[in-house]
Amino acid sequence: MTTLAHPGASRTPAGRARSPEDAVFSKIGWRILPLLLLAYMVAYLDRVNIGYAQLQMKQTLPWDGAIYALGAGMFFLGYFLFEVPSNMLLERIGARKTLLRIMVCWGVVASGMMFVQTPTQFYVMRFLLGVFEAGFFPGVILYFTYWYPSARRGQVFATFMSATTIVSVLTGPLFGAILKVMNGVGGLHGWQWLFLMQGLPAVVLGLLIFVLLKDRPADAHRLSNDEKKLVRDTLAGDSSSGRADAKTPGRLLRDPKVWLMALTYFFLLGATYTIVFWLPSLIQSWGVKDVMTVGLLAAVPNAVGAVGMILIGRSSDRRRERRWHFAACVAIAAAGLGLTTLLPGNLAGSVLALAFATIGISAATPIFFARVSDYLPAGGAAVGIALISSLGNLGPAVSPYISALITQRTGSNTYSIYLVMALYLVAGLLVLLTVRSARRAAPQLSLAA
């Protein structure tokens, strides 16, 4: 698969040998990226399986769409409350112990979702899932800053975050198959098997991460002393142009650009997860009723998005630019979603338009966090990344619920799609304004790493 070719290393012209620096970061990438990529796939499955489970849950737990949307959003409320403390703890005790705690606890809760019978139980379990998973994503982003200089992070973040689009290619068929084939096995509904089978792998992966990964390059026995020095020197040589001043966490919290980035992520993630949660229902609204067929059709846009994410991340690193890459991504997302509203009754056209939108949807987040990591000083990265991520995660706690209410009131998902398009465009505008103000303050700023 091309997404993992030389992870963390820049591409070189054909026939030209890689530099020692490229070789070292490729070696690091092959050691840490595959396992974290797999862990993020499982995390993503446990976040979004409710979108498919509800298709069958509605037959046995006949709640309305607003209950499912609110339950989906409760995850992000728990996530918000515990994300910053988790990242601060990671800096103190290391990534291995932090990720072990996170993954074992969330795996147990994710499997426990199979026992919910009332809306209150549903809300509590979704909230706890967010509490226990809090810190995984910002923790891994912070962990990468310990290993990679900023100039390499665009592609590294894109490779890591491609987990969501790669696994989404399999998500639809996998979820559809479990719901259909396992329904009634052992006296359990298909949705109960869905939660059980996707929670337990997190526990296993947490144990593997603890055993196989190292907290810092200095701890990596597979790197020679010369290789460790190269990594250390490369990280120390990161340009400070355009970064926030090396402030205490308290002063960093008063930086207006940090809050503008958090607001950007609020709109970006709110839009993205609204689409993720309602994608199965959206495809059903196009006249597709079989859950297996819904899953297969959902795989098409995600396959296209996985490729687009890697290529755009690579382009951003190569051109040393984040601002317009991000703006282009959200514009593509909005344009593709808009096209789906113009093609009523055209299933093939709607799927192709959604595939186009998914290119932008998938690529926007890694470009955004490459920009975030470029800006934050090393001393404030743990708090800054977690703060931006946690505040941004309030977006999915709000927007799917609002979308559900709009759809219920209008009887159509068209206006909900307009809402998502607006959220993407506002996120793009905020990044353009935020980065532009940074340029005024530091004209020599290199926007990539």
**Dihedral pair phi/psi, residue 144, rounded to 5°:** -65, -35
Domains of the chain by start residue, with CATH:
26-441 (1.20.1250.20)
Q: Given this model, what pLDDT does residue 248 score? A: 55
> Treating both helix axes as pointing N-terminal to C-terminal, what angle do 95-112 and 65-93 enclose, rounded to 10 degrees?
160
- Amino acid in position 170: L
Residue reference for tokens 């040998």 = 17
Secondary structure (DSSP) of 180-238: HHSTTGGG--HHHHHHHHHHHHHHHHHHHHHHH--SSGGG-TTS-HHHHHHHHHHHHT-
Q: Given this model, what pLDDT does residue 169 score? A: 72
Name residues of the chain where pLDDT drops below 50: 1-15, 240-242, 246, 437-449
Query: Other CB atoms closer than 10 Å to residue 378's CB: what's the count?
Result: 15
Task: Report d(CA 312, CA 94) in Å as an integer.
Answer: 31
Q: Given this model, what pLDDT does residue 18 score? A: 67
Query: Other CB atoms closer than 10 Å to residue 436's CB: what's the count?
Result: 10
Please state whether the predicted TM-score (pTM) of the whole model is above 0.75.
Answer: no
Distances from the Cα of 91 to the Cα of 88, 192, 200, 252, 380, angstroms: 5, 37, 27, 17, 11
Task: Report d(CA 159, CA 7) in Å as an integer.
Answer: 7
Torsion of CA 4, 9, 10, 12, to 10 degrees: -90
End-to-end C-alpha distance for the chain, whole angstroms:
26
**Under a CB-based contact definition with an 8 Å cutoff, are residues 134 and 79 in contact?**
yes
Enumerate the H helices of 136-189 as residue ranges: 136-147, 153-181
Q: Given this model, what pLDDT does residue 445 score? A: 29
426: left (phi over 0), alpha (psi -120 to 50) or beta: alpha
Q: Given this model, what pLDDT does residue 436 score? A: 53
CB within 8 A of 140, min separation 6: which ones?
36, 39, 40, 95, 99, 160
Q: Given this model, what pLDDT does residue 163 score? A: 81
Q: Given this model, what pLDDT does residue 440 score? A: 37
